[in-house]
Every structure is written in structure tokens, then in C-alpha cells.
């Protein structure tokens, strides 16, 4: 069948100078089934003038990498082209600019020991904000297992609402509590309209599943051509590192 699903694509290009990844796998049709990597594909990125060939990572089958000095440019349109065993697919993505970081707030939840939680106050543009928290260097927490002194927290902001409705009614998750002195890496990533639709679909099937606004299960939005699913994103990123000190 001409439109039969044959490939799953997870690809992102950013404005950071680094090796960017394109992950290729076969579709999975069984619950909890394991995806199989797609090897020996021809993968190319282009801004219309400069094609960039990606090479498969010898240590990670199905993961294709650019050279480490590749850097996307805001407002350019990029094409991803994939060829494997006679099948070809493509996608287009425009790199949106990112607005300045809106720093999250913190509130105390415990006095002994002194612990805090984070809250997101909103964003002036569609974006994803990620906080990587590390309190392994704080006295008394040095010898704990990694899952007890590290955490990652996300905030999602889409164009329809300041905070998406389903985020407000998401299923309960573990609350992250951390002490003063925690190192926080803050990353803000721009979202195009299509990438928003894709993330909404993914979150509705995973993180937000069980909320008031659940949707009928199905494949999320994709910008891949017929026969492939997933998403090719072109985003710009801002990053900052701070030490959390209450009152500062």
C-alpha cells in the first residue's frame, strides 16, 4: 500500500553548535512492544543551499548524527530527507526564534529539612522550559543515589492558553522537592505551530493521559511525508545555569 506506515522518525535541529540527532525505527503495533532501529539509511539535512549528510552512530544503531560543528539559523527553513531500502520520505521545518527566559518561582514546602518546590509562571511565547536540578553537592545529600539528588522538570506553553488546559488537569506525578544550594540548568526552547501540535498529541497519549481533557488515542501530528510518522523539529534554544538561593 502506497501510504503504509514504514518508518518512525525523531529528529531535531537547534541553533546550538553540536552533533544533532535523527533517530529512525520501525513502527510498533503491540502494547509495550520494543521498537527496532533502522540501519544503513541515507539521511540528509539541507537549508536549500548546503546539504549536510549524517552518519550512523556506530555505538547506537538507528541514530544518525551531523558533525559536531553544525548550527541551525533562526528563520531558515530546513529539509530532512531519508532514504532506506527503496523508501524515501522528507519533512520541512522552519526554525523559530526563542524569547528571553522567564525564570520560574520557588516556594518552601518544609522547614526541617528546608525544602522547596518549583512553579512555572507562564511564558510570553510558545515554548518548552526544562529545569535540570542537581543537589548532589549540597551537604547531607552527597551520598544519596542519583534519583534522590537529581530531577528534571518540564513546563509546556502553547499558543492557545498561557498554560495548556490539560496541563492543569494532568494526572498526579511525583513532586520534586530540593534544598537551597541546588544547581539549576534552565533551558528554554522555541515551538513552531506544528511542533506544538505534535507535542500536544504526544503528551495527551503519555504525560497528560488520565486528565479531564483526554483525547481518543491515535497518532500525533506529523510533518513527515506519507509512509513515515514522528516529527522533524527546528528549534532555537536559550540556556542558563544558576544556584538556587532562597530570596535571591
All domains in the chain, ordered by first residue: 7-96+219-235 (2.60.40)
- pLDDT for 127: 93
**Strand ranges inside 15-86, DSSP E:** 21-25, 42-46, 52-56, 63-65, 77-84
Map residue 149 onto helix, strand or coil. helix
Residues 6+ apart with CB under 8 A from 171: 207, 208, 209, 210, 211
122 vs 41, more confident: 41
φ/ψ of 205, rounded to 5, equals -90, -15
Using one digit for the tens of pLDDT, what is the confidence trace for 147-198?
A: 999 999 988 888 754 444 444 333 445 689 999 999 999 999 999 999 999 9
Task: Indicate whether this model's pTM tops 0.85.
Answer: no
Nearest alpha carbon to residue 93 among 121, 74, 113: 74
pLDDT of residue 237: 97
Give percent of the chain above pLDDT 70.
86
* Contact in structure between 37 and 63 (CB atoms under 8 Å): yes
Nearest Cα residue to 27 out of 93, 92, 89: 89
Q: What is the pLDDT of residue 4?
A: 73
Cell, residue 174 = 511525583
pLDDT reported for residue 102: 87
Q: Are the C-beta atoms of 128 and 163 separated by less than 8 Å?
A: no
Amino acid at each position: 500500500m502506497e501510504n503504509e506506515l514504514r518508518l518512525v522518525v525523531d529528529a531535531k535541529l537547534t541553533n546550538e553548535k553540536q552533533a544533532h540527532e535523527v533517530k529512525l525505527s520501525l513502527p510498533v503495533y503491540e502494547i509495550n512492544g520494543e521498537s527496532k532501529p533502522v540501519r544503513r539509511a541515507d539521511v540528509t539535512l539541507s537549508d536549500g543551499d548546503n546539504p549536510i549528510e549524517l552518519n550512523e552512530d556506530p555505538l547506537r544503531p538507528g541514530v544518525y548524527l551531523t558533525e559536531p560543528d553544525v548550527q541551525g539559523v533562526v528563520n531558515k527553513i530546513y529539509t530532512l530527507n531519508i532514504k532506506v531500502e527503496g523508501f524515501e520520505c522528507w519533512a520541512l521545518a522552519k526554525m523559530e526564534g526563542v524569547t528571553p527566559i522567564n525564570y520560574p518561582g520557588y516556594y518552601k514546602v518544609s522547614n526541617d529539612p528546608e525544602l522547596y518546590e518549583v512553579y512555572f509562571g507562564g511564558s510570553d511565547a510558545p515554548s518548552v522550559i526544562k529545569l535540570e536540578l542537581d543537589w548532589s553537592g549540597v551537604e547531607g545529600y552527597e551520598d544519596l543515589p542519583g534519583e534522590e539528588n537529581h530531577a528534571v522538570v518540564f513546563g509546556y506553553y502553547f499558543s492557545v492558553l498561557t498554560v495548556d488546559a490539560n496541563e492543569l488537569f494532568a494526572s498526579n506525578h511525583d513532586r520534586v522537592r530540593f534544598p537551597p544550594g541546588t544547581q539549576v540548568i534552565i533551558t528554554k526552547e522555541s515551538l513552531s505551530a506544528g511542533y506544538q501540535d505534535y507535542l500536544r498529541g504526544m503528551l495527551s497519549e503519555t504525560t497528560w493521559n488520565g486528565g479531564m481533557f483526554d483525547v481518543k488515542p491515535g497518532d500525533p501530528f506529523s510533518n513527515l511525508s506519507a509512509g513515515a510518522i514522528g516529527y522533524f523539529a527546528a528549534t532555537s534554544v536559550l540556556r542558563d545555569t544558576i544556584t538556587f538561593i532562597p530570596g535571591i
